[in-house]
Amino acid sequence: MIYEIKGRHKYREVVEEYLDNLLKCLKLHRLTKNSLVIEFIEILEDGTILGQCVGDKNKLTVQIARTAHTGKLSFLEQMFSLSHEMVHVKQYFRQELTINENGEWIWKNRKSNGYKYDNQPWEREASRLESDLFMQCFPFNRI
């Protein structure tokens, strides 16, 4: 998979190793037609979200906030957010999560509009996997 890391962040080599580990763990590392941009930005929206994943099944951008409404985020908090957003990358690239021509969310081939944010199945999956992915993939010995 082709990826690019943009924006200011600490430990460039650590982020690259972590991203490589996440891609392998999520079985995305062999995808050849997909591209991914990881972008570290100052703040997302009003500071209430820490990360977001936007794009389509071929090209995605993951944005990770460096600051939230509560203040600056630590490097590890940013990396934890990255683990959550990488689950969404998997969902899009594996076409588990799509949007149809009517703008309706489709989760595993079923219309999935009307969920509250925390009950969306794709968010539940990302929340369920984020801690394990972080602990399994982050190169703690490198910082």
In tens, the pLDDT along 16-37 reads 999 999 999 999 999 989 999 9
pLDDT at 103: 87
Which tens digits make up the pLDDT trace of 36-81?
999 999 999 888 999 999 998 899 999 999 999 999 999 999 999 9
In the predicted structure, residue 10 carries a pLDDT above the cut 90: no
Chain-wide mean pLDDT for the chain? 94
Q: In which element (H, E) is residue 93 found?
A: helix 75-93
Nearest to 40 by CA among 8, 12, 72, 85: 8
The domain limits of the chain are 2-137
CATH number of 2-137: 3.40.390
Instruction: Label residue 113 by pLDDT band (50, 70, 90).
Output: confident
123 backbone φψ class: left, alpha, beta (φ>0; ψ -120 to 50): alpha
In the predicted structure, residue 114 carries a pLDDT above the cut 90: no
Predicted model pTM: 0.94
